[in-house]
Amino acid sequence: QYLVEKAGNYPPRFTDRRERSQAENDTKQMVAAIDQLVVQPNASFELLLRAVQLNQVARNLDIGAQSAVKAGVYMRRAITLNPENAAANYWYGTMLTEGGGFKEGIPYLNNAAKGGYKKAYLGLAQAYLHIDQRPNALSALESYSIAVPEQQAATSHLIEEVRAGKTTVWMP
């Protein structure tokens, strides 16, 4: 979970080089182990989703040349097993949008948000900004502010920045 929080989205956020170095080492070890398990045709949804997350982290840390491809393969298998799962929809939508498929990722992020995956609203805001749909981005941020009241001050600041013309959304 720690790795996903620090490097599940791009760019990764670490406090210092030592922390990042440790994360890179941990990620390499975990990806090597989980990749051996998920190649089995009967790999569980939960295992596939964890493999997606770890390979996304590896991609964001620039330590796995094939990580994005593997994450995509695992994600398609996971979505097939559980197409309504909010976490799977979030990760698939995030993969698509971070790869430049903003329009393609929006339906998955919407499914994730509807399923209660609150962080999906931030992904939606980012995707909408990239396709020049500022009103939809603001709506997604307002929904995030309601869904995550403890982030209301930071979200309000982002909303004001987006209204002023900012084109990216990153939570501190």
- What is the SS3 assignment for 70? helix
107, amino acid identity: P
Longest dimension (CA), the chain: 50
SS3 of residue 10 by DSSP: coil
Q: What angle do CA 48, 49, 53 make, to 5 degrees?
A: 115
Bond into 83 cis (ω within 30): no
CA gap 43, 131 in Å, rounded: 36
pLDDT (tens digit per residue) in 62-105: 997 899 889 989 999 999 999 999 999 999 999 899 889 999 99
Residue 4: which pLDDT band, with cuts at 50, 70 and 90?
Answer: confident
Angstrom distance (rounded) from CA 28 to CA 51: 12
How confident is the model over 107-120, as a mean pLDDT?
Answer: 96
